[in-house]
């Protein structure tokens, strides 16, 4: 195995101490009053010898790893992977590396992953928390470790959170369907008590309430395979004969929902108007194109990184709990346009 050159090797070759080399290489020559001449020599030698610092040793000594641990629900989910992409871009500019892992929204898995990150001494945590990890998150806070939660959070914990306005997103989507003349609207959501889901439910319910309609909600268990989801949705539709609109609370529920509606030979939007939560690159290519509540991926990522960097540079624990709420954007496409409007398919 090849051998990398160390700071000591440089020191020996140049007859200086490794301290001097270290100072120079860290740009502290001035501050430490190393002569300009030495500085040149050392820099030149290091460059020519292809010196590369050993980050591991550096980490051991400084306690900083220049690494961030990021926990998402599923890195293959387009929402999370596009956030990961943006976060990575910003992180690399700031000279940070990222460990990603998928939690599958599972408590045990998430707990284990947090442990792994701790062992690896990551400098900061970016987490889309799964249910039941309040204690672990609290422990991170207690240990003064920088943590940002995103997409959802625990209302009781003093964390820094970055989320979208789920209530309004769902409210607007529901209002839009109502305004388009769909009166009997159902909500297909996850059987989850997580805040992002209950907010969406509340937003939907609020809009229904305004019209004096009572909500009809289908809650799908987590980790159900797509066919089963479609099956449940079919049943839901059959059991609500007069339902002529559906709001889907997540990306993949909408996908399964489309399947279900198609297989019932209902026409969208003639027979049923639909809106999905969380936009998708492909929704515009579906036929009909699917209306969706778009999340500002780039802003979310930027806020996450901004808040994380703030937490990391703050004098330990100085960063206050806070929740950044970003607006969603309703992207109106064909799937939610009432027949009367379809004469002008300008969208």
Q: Report the residue number, 49 or 325, with the smaller CB distance to a copy of itself.
A: 49
User: Binding string to DNA for residues 7 to 26, with x set by CB under 7 A, is what?
Assistant: xx------xxxxxx-xx-xx
- Find out whether 105 and 129 touch, Cβ atoms under 8 Å: no
Stretch that binds DNA, among 47-55, 238-246, 247-255, 265-273 (CB under 7 A): 47-55
Of 73, 67, 41, 72, nearest to 55 by C-alpha is: 67
Does the protein bind DNA through residue 313 (CB under 7 A)?
Answer: no
What does the alpha-carbon distance between residue 288 and residue 178 come to, in Å, rounded to a whole number? 19
Nearest-approach distance from CB 218 to a copy of itself, in angstroms? 20
Partner from a copy of itself, DNA, none contacting 143, C-beta within 5 to 8 A by type: a copy of itself
Phi/psi of residue 204, nearest 5 degrees: -60, -45
The smaller minimum CB distance to DNA, of residues 53 and 296, is found at 53
Cα 338 to Cα 272: distance, rounded to the nearest angstrom = 9
**Whole-angstrom distance, CA of residue 86 vs CA of residue 237:** 38
The least distance separating a copy of itself from the CB of residue 230, rounded to whole angstroms, comes to 12
Supply the angle between the helices 18-25 and 7-14 in degrees, to the nearest 10.
Answer: 110
In the list 15, 36, 47, 76, the residue contacting a copy of itself (rule: CB under 8 A) is: 76
Residues numbered 90-119 forming contacts with a copy of itself, rule: CB under 8 A: 92, 97-102, 113, 115-116, 118-119
Cβ–Cβ < 8 Å for 190, 219: yes
In our burial notation (b when 16+ CB lie closer than 10 A, e otherwise), range 40-68 reads ebbeebbeeeebeeeeeeebeeeeebebb
Residues between 235 and 294 with contacts to a copy of itself, criterion CB under 8 A: 255, 258-259, 280-282, 285-287
The listed partner (DNA, a copy of itself, none) that binds 19, CB under 5 to 8 Å by sort, is DNA
CB of 97 to DNA, least distance (A): 16
User: Toward DNA, which CB reaches closer, 20 or 303?
Assistant: 20
Strand (E) or helix (H) holding 27: none
Position 47 contacts DNA (CB under 7 A): no
Rule CB under 7 A: which of 59-118 touch DNA? Answer: 60-62
Q: Which does 316 bind (CB under 5 to 8 A by kind): DNA, a copy of itself, none?
A: a copy of itself
- Minimum distance between the CB of residue 67 and a copy of itself, rounded to whole angstroms? 8
Q: Is 247 left (phi over 0), alpha (psi -120 to 50) or beta?
A: beta
Q: How far apart are CA 83 and CA 61, in angstroms?
A: 32
Residue 298: how many other CB atoms lie within 10 Å? 14
**What is the rounded CA–CA span in Å between residue 294 and residue 303?**
17
- Contacts with a copy of itself by CB under 8 A lie at 1-2, 52-57, 59-60, 65, 67, 74-76, 78, 81-82, 84-85, 88-89, 92, 97-102, 113, 115-116, 118-121, 142-144, 255, 258-259, 280-282, 285-287, 316
């Amino acid at each position: 195995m090849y051998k990398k050159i160390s700071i000591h090797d440089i020191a020996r070759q140049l007859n200086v101490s490794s301290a001097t080399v270290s100072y120079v290489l860290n740009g502290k020559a001035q501050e430490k009053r190393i002569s300009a001449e030495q500085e040149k020599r050392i820099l030149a030698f290091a460059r020519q010898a292809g010196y590369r610092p050993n980050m591991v040793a550096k980490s051991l000594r400084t306690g900083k790893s220049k690494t961030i641990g990021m926990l998402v629900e599923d890195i293959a989910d387009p929402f999370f992977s596009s956030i990961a992409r943006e976060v990575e871009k910003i992180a690399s500019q700031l000279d940070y590396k990222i460990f990603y892992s998928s939690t599958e929204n599972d408590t045990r898995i998430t707990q284990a992953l947090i442990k792994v990150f701790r062992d690896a001494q990551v400098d900061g945590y970016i987490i889309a928390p799964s249910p039941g990890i309040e204690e672990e998150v609290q422990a991170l806070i207690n240990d003064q470790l920088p943590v940002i939660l995103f997409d959802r959070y625990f209302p009781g914990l003093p964390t820094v959170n970055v989320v979208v306005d789920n209530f309004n997103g769902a409210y607007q989507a529901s209002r839009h369907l109502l305004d388009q003349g769909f009166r009997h609207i159902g909500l297909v959501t996850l059987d989850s008590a997580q805040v992002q889901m209950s907010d969406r439910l509340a937003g939907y319910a609020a809009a229904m309430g305004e019209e004096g309609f009572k909500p009809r909600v289908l809650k799908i268990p987590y980790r159900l395979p797509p066919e089963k989801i479609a099956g449940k949705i079919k049943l839901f539709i059959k059991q609500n004969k007069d339902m002529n609109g559906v709001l889907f609370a997540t990306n993949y529920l909408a996908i399964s929902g489309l399947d279900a509606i198609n297989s019932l030979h209902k026409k969208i939007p003639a027979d049923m108007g639909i809106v999905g939560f969380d936009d998708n690159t492909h929704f515009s290519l579906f036929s009909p194109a699917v209306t969706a509540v778009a999340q500002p991926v780039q802003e979310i990522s930027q806020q996450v990184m901004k808040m994380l960097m703030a937490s990391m540079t703050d004098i330990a624990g100085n960063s206050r709990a806070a929740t950044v709420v970003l607006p969603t954007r309703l992207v109106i496409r064909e799937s939610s346009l009432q027949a009367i409007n379809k004469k002008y398919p300008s969208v």
